[in-house]
Amino acid sequence: MSSRYPEQVDVAIVGSGPAGAAYARILSEEAPDATIAMFEVGPTVSDPPGAHVKNIADPDERARAQLRSEGPSAHDDGDRVGGIVKTAQRRARPGTFLLEDGYQVEGEDGLPVAAFSSNVGGMAAHWTGACPRPNDSERIDLLGEGDLDELLSEGERLLGVTTDAFETSPYGQIVRDRLAAAADEGRSERTRVQRMPLAVHRNDEGRLVWSGSDVVLGDVTRDNPHFTLFDESLVTRVLVEGGQAAGVAVTDRRTGESHEVRARFVVVAGDALRTPQLLWASGIRPEALGRYLNDQAQIVFAVRIRDLVAADASAQSGATGLSEYSGVTWVPFTDEVPFHGQVMQLDASPVKLAEDDPAAPGSIVGLGLFCAKDLQATDRVEFSADAVDGYGMPAMTLHYRLTEHDRQVFDRAKAEIVRLGRAIGEPLDDRPFMMPLGASLHYQGTTRMGAADDGASVCSPNSEVWALAGLFVAGNGVIPTATACNPTLTSVALGVRGAREIASRLLTSK
């Protein structure tokens, strides 16, 4: 049988999430003659490929797209809500599937709900679209302040970030005004309460369209005759020759056949758990690989907006049924108040905090505070030399411990979320809830960048793996700082920098 894969390309990209898509987009813009092959282990579940499933109008079709994203067992029938379900405490969100084993070592805290998505577009087909900029200690100093801000602006361009998608929401300003009165004192203008930057826009019909990898790829990539996306394609190994990346070994999940695709550059753009998995499986094992694993603990709370005059029912949106009552509000992270806060209408939240009030729709909002983790080299993902996962790749074991400082921050966050919630309205419950560790899906650090090859980082500031020319890593795992804000914008910005480096080398070698 003939292979559907090319024998050779200039750039092979493993993973179709926003960071991998950023590489394809920048290369299509800056090195348009370069041949690019993108490989995704999961199926195409939306049209165009990589589009957010929230844009699918039919609820049954949307649910099917979510189910098909839920990993190697996604074809199974039965009572499956959000992938593998072990207990009520181990339930994944629709469109994701849980790490079945190895999520917690005895005596450690672990990440009990560590989860993945396998589909074209990755987690960006299911995310909330929040794109805040990092602040204070979240920022990556080794890039330089001006350089980082320019890259973040490019990330916003690629993701289609806006702040006015919910501008006409009747309750949004009420929520922001009340939060500002409680939180803005002593803050600089850029860290005061404000609309959340969101990867969402309105189409010509006025309907909300949420960005997925399709928006990052853009027409310039889709129309690029030298770019090809291969779904249901499992990359099992990065090929290495003469101390540099030489291509990938890929298995067609439709036929089971394996092939080698030669490449001048390889970009591994999986999530923060599967990117180090592929490097490890390829025998690429720098000291920091898989280490400095960090997540963002999430504290949540729900309140009913006080003294509310009910809005007109026309606030209900069209195709996807998303209401537009209060939108999403942002309370930025600062080192003095070390939480990233977001307040959103219930149906925009991925966490089901309460049922909306049918008598006063939109009157209940959810608050979430995300906490940065103390970075530790001992927090890590390890891989087995013998056992394998559902894809036949090395099985994972997560080592993860909270520090005393982490617990102190959580306690402070619980008190702060109650204070902010009461400023908005009446709590539904006086006790905030801490989500199980791993629930944020914001895993970072396992292929972190650094200023030098000193054993504490995997890649350079250009995202190229130390001591292995031509191999780049991408995604949230590259972020080297402890962050509380949503990481997608930052990882796309870092991808822009890496893609520009590849484009420059391709053009120089012509």
The residues assigned a catalytic role are 442
Beta bridge partners of 300: 368, 433
Cis (ω within 30 of 0) for the bond into 132? Answer: no
125 to 54, 82, 102: CA distances (angstroms) = 8, 14, 26
**CB-CB contact of 469 with 454 (8 Å):** no
- DSSP string of 175-224? HHHHHHHHH-TT--GGGSSEEPPBSEEE-TTS-EEE--HHHHHHHHHHT-
**CB-CB contact of 332 with 370 (8 Å):** no
Beta bridge partners of 240: 245
Alpha-carbon span 356 to 29, nearest angstrom: 45
Alpha-carbon span 24 to 177, nearest angstrom: 41
What is the token pair recorded at 13?
């990209």
User: C-alpha angle 21/216/366, rounded to 5°?
Assistant: 110
| First-to-last C-alpha distance (Å) of the chain | 34
* Helix residue ranges per DSSP H, 296-380: none
HEC secondary structure over 110-152: CCCCCEECCCCCHHHHCCCCECCCCCHHHCCHHHCHHHHHHHH
Using DSSP, how many helices (H) and how many strands (E) does the chain show?
8, 20
- DSSP string of 323-347? B-SS-EEEE---SSS-EEEEEEEGG
**CB-CB contact of 344 with 328 (8 Å):** yes
Beta bridge partners of 200: 210
Residue 291 DSSP label:
B
Alpha-carbon span 333 to 477, nearest angstrom: 20
CA 68 to mean position of chain CA atoms: 18
**CB-CB contact of 368 with 341 (8 Å):** yes
**CB-CB contact of 424 with 392 (8 Å):** no
If 0-12 CB within 10 Å is exposed, 13-18 middle and 19+ buried, where does residue 318 land?
exposed
User: Among candidates 377, 376, 348, which has minimal Cα distance to 364?
Assistant: 348
